[in-house]
Amino acid sequence: MTESDLPLWRQIADTLRDEIAAGLPPGARLPTEAELARRFGVNRHTVRRALAALAEAGQVHARRGAGVFVLAPPMDYPLTRHTRFTAAIAASGRVAGRTILMAQVFPASVAEAEALALPPDAPVLRVEGTSRSDGVTVSHFRSAFPQARLPGLQAAFADGMGVTQALEACGVPEYTRAWTRLSAHLADTLLAGHLQMRPGGAVLRSVSLNHDPAGVPVEYGITHFAGDRVTLTVAAE
């Protein structure tokens, strides 16, 4: 089959793929669908199909209301007993970022109470947010912390601290991962919005528990990683 025999969307996708490989850096914004349609002399549906193929290959991603951007190769994210998000991102040569969407006290859910060894409906500080690597959203997290054990934690998050700093401010200078459960899922509409991806896209779900040096639980968390942006790695310790 010659190049001219390929569907138009495939030819467009191949051309854009070559241009990305030739030097378009991660984070670069591609022309709009209308601009690409004019350039290639096709309708926007054909362009959309080409962009979808690139997204499925993990080479670009669309941000709602912002456009389509070149995606960096998936980053390796190690899951160890001592993994810290900022340090892990820095080790890969990238810049970490985090946005806290919510930090409020709620009665513990059944799963939260069981993991944190709390009585039913005990108060927990529930913190929700997104994490970024070089400005690209890579994960959405929701963690629960035992409010009675860590009464100053909400104020620490309000001051802009990350988890490690906030726990240290509350008298927990060190914590480690007790266990992690991993599973694969498809993003629903709400999660896809947080991760700036298409609904139905693949995500990796990590459910984990962290405890202090005495073995007392301090954080129960659920994190969803964008499947095309993160490779989770597990190494023996």
**CA atoms of 100 and 164, how far apart (whole Å):** 14
The gap between the terminal CA atoms of the chain, to the nearest Å, is 50
- Mean pLDDT, the chain, rounded, equals 90
Cβ neighbourhood burial of 3 (10 Å; 0-12, 13-18, 19+): exposed
How many CB atoms are closer than 10 A to CB 126?
A: 20
Tokens representing 103 are: 């930090």
**CA atoms of 122 and 137, how far apart (whole Å):** 32
**CA atoms of 11 and 43, how far apart (whole Å):** 14
pLDDT at 73: 79
**CA atoms of 17 and 149, how far apart (whole Å):** 52
As annotated, the residues of the chain forming the CATH 1.10.10.10 domain(s) are 3-70
As annotated, the residues of the chain forming the CATH 3.40.1410.10 domain(s) are 75-234
| pLDDT beneath 70: ranges in the chain | 1-4, 235-237
3 state SS of 130: strand
- pTM score: 0.77
pLDDT at 4: 65
Q: Classify domain 75-234 at the CATH topology level.
A: Chorismate lyase (3.40.1410)
pLDDT at 237: 60
Question: Is the domain defined by 3-70 classed in CATH 1.10.10.10?
Answer: yes
Tokens representing 210 are: 């962290």
**Do 74 and 228 touch, CB atoms closer than 8 A?**
yes
| pLDDT tens-digit readout, 31-90 | 999 999 999 999 999 999 999 999 888 788 888 788 999 987 788 888 888 878 888 888
